[in-house]
Amino acid sequence: MNRPAGAALAWLLASVLFGWGCTAPAPQGGWAGWRQEPLQWAEFFQLWHRGGDHLLLTFGPGGTKDTTGIFVLQADTGKGALPPGAVRFGRPLGRVALLSTTHASFISALGLADAVGGCPHTARLRAPVVAARAAKGRIAEIGTAEGLDREKVASLAPDAVIVYPYGTEAASIAQVAVPSIPVAEYLERDPLGRAEWLRAFGLLLGRSAEAEAMVEGIAARYGKALASVPEAGHRPVVFFGSSWRGSWSVPSGKSYMAKLIGDAGGSYLFGEGDAGGNQELTLETVVAEGARAECWGRILELDRPVTAADVAGDDPRILALPAFTGHGCFYANSTESDLFGQASLEPDVILLDLIGLFHPGLRGGRQPVYFKPVQ
């Protein structure tokens, strides 16, 4: 997470609350012979192949109408024309720089922590093996008080820089003569879609088979957790949102968080909304609608124990609502767990956390990892 506290929370809310739609593009000039490989959940990248050549197509917030990059792994330049604008790699990436600490978890999960050569704010790396390498000085600090240290990036001579498709840091990398690969896993609305980005990293790093196996395992565990929720039974009404300076916003009914709440056996309070982003609410609406909620959740970034007042935005009217008087409030604290990185690879763990919150009888002796009740 490479941002100040307020910006980090805003970025997280964008990643967990927003949802976007996209449709498959029609192949155009230079795409002759390429065949798309099926993805099960992810919407913001595609994989293609043509014989032994492999292609990664990445998208931004606008979905497939917003192509952000075309990257081809092709050992032999004489094997055929490439799509316009494609960046060719003659072999899997051996050394990369990151603009976001969150992507270190994907690379580390594939057993390639030593492929990370540089990253801004290395002290904030959370993936254990990558963080240990940074602590030993084996990962270069490429961030400065003014932003990205472009000269340091160039001196590392990475095969590519993994970026996110927004912000000034991502734009500034264009001034470095190194290919940049935008990764937008945070836009995925399906929890398994975020985990499926392992396949994109696997292609780039030469670990496709391992990535496939990992995604299958994650999906199987998610399915097992999902099956533990009774189809018939009480589904508590759940409020989930964010407060900033007295204003509240909530995710749409087609968002990442809404999907998790529904899969965990909850009834998301604003589940009927299908807009692409957050819905801004007045405090009066929050109090009136929130009175129906039995559970109330929020994501925070605090370096101390979380209280009910923190979840309520320090508002006494919200603290008086049934979800709080009935001890139904819960939270995820990014200073306690790697919500921005490892959590994307563990949607099954998040799901089990939420199941335990909404259906305590199913919790057993399990301790929550990401989403926890306020004590």
DSSP, residue by residue, 206-273: T-HHHHHHHHHHHHHHHHHHHHTS-SSS---EEEE-EEETTEEEE--TTSHHHHHHHHTT-EETTTT-
pLDDT of amino acid 68? 94
pLDDT of amino acid 233? 87
**Average pLDDT of adjacent 10-residue blocks, the chain of 375 residues:** 38 39 50 95 97 96 94 90 95 96 97 97 95 96 89 95 77 80 95 98 98 98 97 94 87 95 97 76 94 97 96 95 97 94 97 97 94 95
Please give the CATH superfamily to which domain 5-9+35-220 belongs: Nitrogenase molybdenum iron protein domain (3.40.50.1980)
Which CATH architecture group holds 228-373? 3-Layer(aba) Sandwich (3.40)
Instruction: Give the C-alpha separation, 168 to 113, whole Å.
Output: 26
Domain ranges of the chain: 5-9+35-220, 228-373
Cα torsion at 154, 159, 164, 167 (round to 10°)? 20
pLDDT of amino acid 169? 64
Instruction: Give the C-alpha separation, 374 to 258, whole Å.
Output: 21
pLDDT of amino acid 266? 97
H-helix or E-strand spanning residue 56? strand 53-60
pLDDT of amino acid 275? 63
Residue among 159, 164, 132 nearest 44 (CA): 164
98, 115, 163, 168 from 121: Cα distances, Å: 10, 17, 14, 16
Instruction: Give the C-alpha separation, 375 to 371, whole Å.
Output: 12
Pairing of strands 295-300, 329-333: parallel
Q: What is the DSSP letter of 131?
A: H
Residue among 186, 187, 194, 152 nearest 169 (CA): 152
pLDDT of amino acid 170? 62
Whether pTM exceeds 0.85: yes
pLDDT digits (tens, 9 = 90+) for 353-371: 999 999 999 998 999 999 9
Instruction: Give the C-alpha separation, 222 to 321, whole Å.
Output: 32
Cβ contacts of residue 374 below 8 Å, gap of 6+? 306, 307, 308, 311, 327, 329, 330, 331
pLDDT of amino acid 7? 37
pLDDT of amino acid 167? 67
Q: Could you tell me the two tokens for 312?
A: 């309520």
pLDDT of amino acid 164? 85
pLDDT of amino acid 246? 77
pLDDT of amino acid 53? 96
pLDDT digits (tens, 9 = 90+) for 130-178: 999 999 999 999 998 888 899 999 999 999 999 987 766 666 677 788 9
